[in-house]
Amino acid sequence: MTITCLKNGKEIALRDPLDLDFIEYDVVKDYLKVIGHLERNPEARVEIDLTEPFIPKFNLINCSNSFTQKFNQVINRKKFA
């Protein structure tokens, strides 16, 4: 499973570990270490759209329904914490 970060529709590379976008990426990466085994499709990926500041959008591509539900369950809970 891969994670791709996008800004204005273009892939970006995150380098600064103190940048909020990098922290968002790091949280998703760590979470995928925990639930990644639920997704069996090697073509599956998570796209994080960082176009709007402080409001990342997550696009799950080629992911199973069970993985999508589990991912959204935790990610949506994190937004309100």
As for how many domains the chain has, the answer is 1
- The low-confidence residues of the chain, meaning pLDDT below 70, are 78-81
Residues linked to residue 4 through DSSP beta bridges, in sequence order: 47
pLDDT at 29: 94
Domain hosting 23: range is: 2-80
Burial 9-28 (b: 16+ CB within 10 A, else e): eeeeebeeeeeebeebbeeb
